[in-house]
Chains A and B, each alone.
Chain A
Amino acid sequence: MLALALAASPLAAQTREITGKVTQAGAGTPISEATIGIVGAQLGVRANERGEYRLRVPEGDATLLVRAIGFKRQTLRVPATQATADFALEKDVLQLEGVTVTGQATEIDKRNASTAVASVSAEELMVAPAKSLEGNLSGKVIGATIFENSGVPGGGMQIQIRGATSILGQGDPLYVVDGVIVSNQSVQGGLSSISHSSGSTQSSQDQTVNRLADINPNDIENIEVLKSAAATAIYGSRATNGVVVITTKRGKAGATRYNVTQRVGSQQATRLLGSRHFSSYDQGCGATRNADSLAKCANGSVKPWIGSSTQADSVARANCTASGCAWYDWQGALYNNTSPAFETIMSASGGFNNTKYFGSVNDRQSPGTQQNSGARLSSGRVNLDQTIGDKITLSGGVNFSHNLTHNGIGGNDNSGISPMYALGYAPAIYNLEQIDPITHRPVKMFMNGGGSGTANPFDVVHQIVNAEDTWRQIGTVRLGYLALSTVKNTVQLTYLGGVDRFSFEGNQYSPNYLQFEPADGFLGTSQIDNTSSRNINQSLNAVWTFNPGYKWFNSAQTSVGGTYETQYTRNYLVRQRGLTPTRVIAANGSDIATFDEVREFRDQSHYINEQFIGLDEKLSVAIGVRDDRGSANGDRSKFYAFPKYSASYRFTEPLNRFTSAIDELKLRASYGQSGNRPNFGVREITIGSGGVIGGANSLSASSTVGNPNIKPEVMNEFEMGADAAFLRGRALLEVSRYNRVIKDLLVTYPLAPSSGLGTQTVNGGQISTRGIEAGLTLVPITNRNTEWTFRTTYQHNVQYVDKLTVPAFNAPGGSFGVSYGRNRVVAGTRPTYIWGNQVYSCINTTVDGKLVVGTGQDNKPCHRINAGDPSVAGSITRDSIIADANPIAQISFLNTVRWKNFSLTGLLDWRVAGYTADMTKNTWDEGGNSRDYDKAPPPNDAGYKTMGDFRYGTWNDGNIGTYIDRGTYLKLREISVSYLAPKAWASWLRANDLRISVQGRNLGMVTDYWSFDPEFNNFGNQNFNRFIDLGPYPSMRQFFLSIDLGY
């Protein structure tokens, strides 16, 4: 489209020339890159860096249209006699202008868009640095829920758009950078080999960093989030989770402009748990409410600590006196890393003749709050645009990045190394930082005797390596050819090729001398994990634009094209245990395990889209269809069609006197389908590996049964909405209502184990999401010195399992089962419900043998399940719905105030409800070390000795409710104060511009949540079960001071 606009126009013979200048209203500064054209025609010219333009128009009166990104459009009638026309454009504070993508090679004016549009500009994105791009988007995209999995530096976040649209399939949006489909894979580093958080060498509990973290947010010009199926249908069978279209910065005509930004910052833990203060040795016995064991504890016949040992007992006796026990702030000492964060960004941008270029380099070092953890992202990008003759344009971009993370230790753990987990079982009565005079390392942990089960976290965080090293290259080339160009018709052909590849090396090392190491019988563990990923996508498009020049028929655009996409990932891992000292390579271990897996997808598609704009640009109608086939489907030759239909109408004049306050009202409605393809390998009938016995290999029946009939799930979404601008450009209200129904849902059918088989994946069910999204933007003040913009967003959705053709099952992805809560896929309920144990006082048995649980107070006949004696008092534990993990609403408030050279931006993010399984609290209660353990129990539960005893005891009796906590929070996500220094200061540094900013991220959180953060999830990115907080790496707040210099 850019090429289209820039193409020299073969005009009719009778023409004249108009010249002029485009400036910003009020400020008077020139606006380069403004496009100037004739209303109704497609062709135009672009202003130079001084804002000047020169345009040939036909003889006679001409109506010119001037547009520039960030400014309101302006039209001006230029009489036949007038040869100059200057324009002063007003700032587009409400962001009514601009374009939004509608296809692989097409876009449309935002005001004519017939689906909800969500775009974020560079300026909005980069208010304050974040650990990865998702963080920069938090609170800025209506309809997108953004989670941080833990406080691990360097990444590990998830974007969910309009709820989860799949149970089994891909849950991430599709990320497209300048046309390249990029991987957001979560490569599991392999900490599980040491933490034993799962039985395997890798798991989603490895504090995984998803690979969006390799994208440098500073290079981004604009992000568009396509939400509704009508908008995403152009991406076919990979689009149900939404599409995030990222456009990077490109060169602009004119002399090279350089920008240098230097940041320095620091970080600290946002909140820590605290721990119990023991007042006496005997109090340490109070892990149980059993009076008998208290007495035994006092007389020494029972040891006071869980996992009691002689050593633990002697430590306890030594550190407690009649006046109380010692107390140490272990967490404060472990998570005290405030060492400076640095970021250097340099970019250059310019253009001459037919070439434009943008280049940048970036280096960001972000330490984590845990000692010995941190991340470093270094990247470079070059974008080039070249026009060859007047018909060919060639654009290319290449990005290299190196992302190195030291993720530290956190999360679930079964070997006693995760500090926030292990400390829950260790009374803070002993100085763990003291150095053992013999080993010269921190003293051994006194719990569980020693030799197994746990290790001193101060030792662990310094000795265990948990590093990930990723090298990534992303490249794109786009070749455009203007095949036909007349006043009314243009045909543009485009080829686009994109390549995204990375190699990931995970490295875990636990030296053989650590205290917990004998626990698995092998001293020391070392693991190298290599993943290589390669994504290639190509597309070919033809776009025919027809502008007949009638008032009722403004334009029609027909695009046809096809795509071919491949994704390939190979994960190779070697783990060795039983190491000799200091040697870490694989050849050395006494126990060596390897893992090797390939995943590959190939997809083909073709599509046709039609866009019609008519009735004086008030009516906009789009229809289209994309046909997809792919290697993951059972039938690889079959094309699956994803159609879309959308329309909008703008009321630009008041309908009556009540609506005169409304400047413009757009009503829009759309319906579309998009898909989510089956997982890799689901289609194949395979036979498994039976393992090796006596050196002989073997085969045995595969536990998963292939399904040769598997096909994509299909999301049907109906969206309707209204966008209204009112108060004379001071206010904008956007409201959308959507209903998405996902049919042919991919579900795993758990076969009865007596079949000897595990699961089969089938298309068997339907889930739906209904939601509402609203955004209100106000400009309370705008004048020469001051501009205040206030924006608030609201989103709410509810998900349902409409039907299932298979028995109800636990939502896949990690969870800890019925005792700790998990999502279940049960027809007629919400898949976001947290199910878990709950105690009931009676059971009603109906005649057909079905059981109904009751409270015994509902006047229904109440029987014991074991019959015989209904009079026996008792209770029964049942798997029940405890709460909904899905928040009722997510609301954000964004304020931007500019006053003279100062600007202040603040973003508040408010989540209402949404429950979590606070297993961190559970482990700290189990260990008897939670900070409020000794508080009085709730009044109605006075049978319990203390608060901790009440919570743990209630849970232990089969009621998990005491650990299902409400996750409401109000977070100060971002704050930034910046000052554009006087030119004199800048020139002192030989620069043109100088800006000084102070920025903060996640500075504070108001919540009554007990543990770290309701956003967290122990299992990383997953569609469901993402509410489990278990001994995570604590969240951090960050501060920065930035100096921006422009040359």
Chain B
Amino acid sequence: MTHTLMRTYIGTAAIAAMALGAVSCTQSAIDINNPNVAQSGAVATDPTALQLLATGLFADQRGTRQAQITNTGILGREMYTFTPQEGRNTTNYLVGINVGGVQKLDPAGFANGSWNGQYTTLRDILFFNTFVNAQTGLSAQQKSGALAVAQTFEAMMIFELLETRDTLGVVVEMNAKPDSILPFVSRDSGYKYVLNTLDAAATKLQSAGVVIPFTVPPGFGTSVAGANFTTPAGFLLFNRALRAKASVYYATLGGGAAAWTAALTALGQSFINASATTRAQFDVGPYDTYAPSPDSPNGLSQATNTNLYSHMSIQADAQLKADGQPDDRYTAKIRTGLPSRQGPGGSSAASTLGFSMWPTTSSPVPIIRNEELILLRAEAKLGTGDKAGAIADLNIVRQNSGGLPASTLTASSTDAQVIDGILYEKRYSLLMEANRWPDVRRYGRLNTLPLDVTTGSNANFVAKVMPIPQGECLPRLTSKVANALGPNGQNNCAP
């Protein structure tokens, strides 16, 4: 018995060893790669990584463009998205939810976007900066050039966030640790951060030599942009244009006289061309380009986006030229005669108008154009007391871009009247360029935006800010970080 048992034990043990050996011996058998994605560790040593990561930044900021345009476009009564069978694209923006008798946008609804994309870009910039700083093969000049591009985009992203969140403030820091909760800063601090960051980037561009150490996408090159923004000097013109825009915004939001002066200085260093007379000259500026897959198609294009409608007030409010025809800008940008559509359950007025700026899915979208710079200068001149200069600037655009007779404004017009004049020109010159809603808000004129439905359960309202998305708030509710929830506490997060 003992002998049998022993033999059996030994036999069984041998078999067990064999089983493990034959079936599951080598660990290397289970060391398999995930072929679907690039492994982060391998990127640091790849010779193409700098170009790929840099292009990634341009692709990232392009990714924020269309949502910025449509979100501010609906709230600023430039457009609608009449998706069939998804009414929330209208109701969530125009009707919102009722919180204690006050209409608000739902932080968990559809009108809470233009947030994640900007921060994704900022995360990429952090990754890019770490990568560039670690590269031993890059010269100091090359590093300056590369970092300056990233820093300019960093400021641009935070500026975009301030455009939609305004008084709610923003988070400006980015931490390598993924689960860090970083505080909100006020709008004022946010603008200061944007201005300082743009200036720091400008300093780097000035010491970046003559070449940026990677190929800049074609939207910044002469063939699309009308000027060359692909060199350190060229990119600096773009950086200064953003600086001017941010300064003008900041000037109207507490920055005051110093900001107006800074805006004029920055404009002088930008690509502004006040002697523009042709459409091409007004259109000079960096663009985001689009193309069919595998590139990104322009999702706003009339070729594919049949849900994008224009607000009817754009037709009604267009001023007439001397020949009785409407503003050239209206004619150039608006299509008429679309099938009549409206929001579900009568939540908006009906519209038969669309846009014609993007005829194909490859139509580029401007980031900032000369036409905008001239109108920003009009604002800045008015802000610094040069009313005549302001009127002159708005007339450059009004007459050459709009084909309209010169403005009736004079030096004796009130500031408010001149602002009205500038806002009219901005509305038509910069239609669907994410300006209208922030502009009327900055000048306290949100109440001038038209409401399609004024009574009943579908009564429209004009949102002051887009809410902080609920997803941003939930991880913050338990955070001990000061100002984790922003200036209004939980109001930012839960209606």
Contacts and interface: CB of A to CB of B under 8 A. Distances in A.
Given A544-B8, A756-B124, A866-B99, A539 B23 contact: yes
Given A696-B217, A849-B489, A685 B12 contact: no
B447 interface: no
B23 A865 contact: no
A750 B171 contact: no
Interface in B400-424: none
A558 interface: yes
Contact of A699 (B49, B62, B296, B306): B49
A284 to B, nearest CB: 14
B124 to A, nearest CB: 5
B134 interface: no
B119 interface: yes
B4 interface: yes
B38 interface: yes
B79 interface: no
Given A453-B84, A690-B59, A693-B217, A488 B43 contact: no
Interface string B70-83: 00000000000001
A441 interface: no
A901 interface: no
Interface stretch (B232-240, B321-329, B334-342, B385-393): B334-342
A598 interface: yes
A706 B39 CA distance: 10
Contacts of A414: 83-86
B19 A561 contact: yes
Contacts of A519: 84, 306
A699 B178 contact: no
Contacts of B295: 691-695
B294 to A, nearest CB: 5
B98 A875 contact: yes
B120 A756 contact: yes
Nearest to B360: A521
A564 interface: yes
A606 B24 contact: yes
Given A452-B84, A602-B29, A751-B475, A560 B341 contact: no
A491 B8 contact: yes
B316 interface: no
Most chain B CB within a 10 A radius of its CB, from A306, A450, A488: A306
B359 to A, nearest CB: 11
Interface string A683-708: 01111111111111111111101100
A573 to B, nearest CB: 13
A290 interface: yes
B58 interface: yes
B30 A558 contact: no
A686 B37 contact: yes
Given A562-B24, A631-B30, A697 B12 contact: no
B19 A701 contact: no
A700 B344 CA distance: 38
A519 B294 CA distance: 21
A636 B31 contact: yes
Contact of A851 (B88, B301, B494): B494
Contact of A874 (B24, B40, B43, B100): B100
A12 to B, nearest CB: 15
A512 interface: no
A542 B30 CA distance: 24
Interface stretch (B190-198, B427-435, B466-474): B466-474
A449 interface: yes
A817 interface: yes
B16 interface: yes
A653 B70 CA distance: 80
Contacts of A753: 115-116, 119, 469, 471-472
B37 A688 contact: yes
B471 A866 contact: no
B474 A808 contact: yes
A687 B38 contact: yes
A287 interface: yes
A859 to B, nearest CB: 21
A355 interface: no
A757 B122 CA distance: 10
A292 interface: yes
A699 B127 CA distance: 11
Interface residues of A, number: 124
A687 B22 CA distance: 37
Nearest to A878: B494
Contacts of B181: 752
B56 interface: yes
A453 B294 contact: no
Given A608-B16, A807-B478, A631 B23 contact: no
B379 interface: no
Most chain B CB within a 10 A radius of its CB, from A452, A631, A691: A691
Nearest to A685: B40
A687 B37 contact: yes
Given A540-B18, A591-B293, A849-B490, A307 B98 contact: no
A879 B108 contact: yes
B289 interface: yes
A958 to B, nearest CB: 7
B23 A692 contact: no
A693 B296 contact: yes
A489 interface: yes
A698 B53 contact: yes
Contacts of B171: 754
B126 interface: yes
Given A454-B84, A865-B491, A877-B495, A703 B34 contact: no
Nearest to A288: B345
A76 interface: no
Given A454-B84, A486-B4, A691 B32 contact: no
Nearest to A516: B84
A302 B458 CA distance: 15
Nearest to B477: A807
B23 A693 contact: no
Contact of A756 (B16, B122, B218): B122
A293 B474 CA distance: 40
Contacts of B99: 865-866, 876-877
B473 to A, nearest CB: 9
A384 to B, nearest CB: 24
A872 interface: yes
Contacts of A560: 12, 15-16, 19
Given A452-B84, A687-B38, A807 B98 contact: no
Contacts of A328: none
B371 interface: no
A865 B478 CA distance: 19
A545 to B, nearest CB: 10
Contacts of A689: 37-38
A608 B9 CA distance: 13
Contact of A691 (B49, B292, B296): B296
B100 A491 contact: no
Question: Which 6 residue pairs across A and B have the least CB separation, nearest first?
Answer: A756-B123, A521-B304, A690-B56, A453-B84, A604-B24, A542-B15
Given A521-B305, A521-B361, A701-B127, 20 more contacts: A288-B346, A292-B455, A416-B85, A449-B340, A450-B339, A542-B19, A564-B24, A591-B361, A602-B29, A604-B27, A692-B294, A693-B59, A697-B52, A701-B120, A702-B40, A751-B475, A753-B469, A756-B126, A817-B108, A877-B99
18 contacts: A288-B346, A290-B456, A421-B85, A452-B339, A542-B11, A604-B27, A681-B37, A686-B39, A690-B55, A693-B55, A693-B217, A696-B215, A698-B53, A700-B124, A756-B122, A757-B123, A760-B179, A958-B97
Interface of A: 287-288, 290, 292-293, 302, 306-310, 413-416, 421, 425, 448-454, 483-484, 486, 488-489, 491, 493, 518-522, 538-542, 544, 546, 558, 560-564, 590-593, 597-598, 600, 602-606, 608, 629-631, 636-637, 680-681, 684-703, 705-706, 749-757, 760, 807-809, 817-819, 849, 851, 864-866, 872-877, 879, 923, 926, 956-958
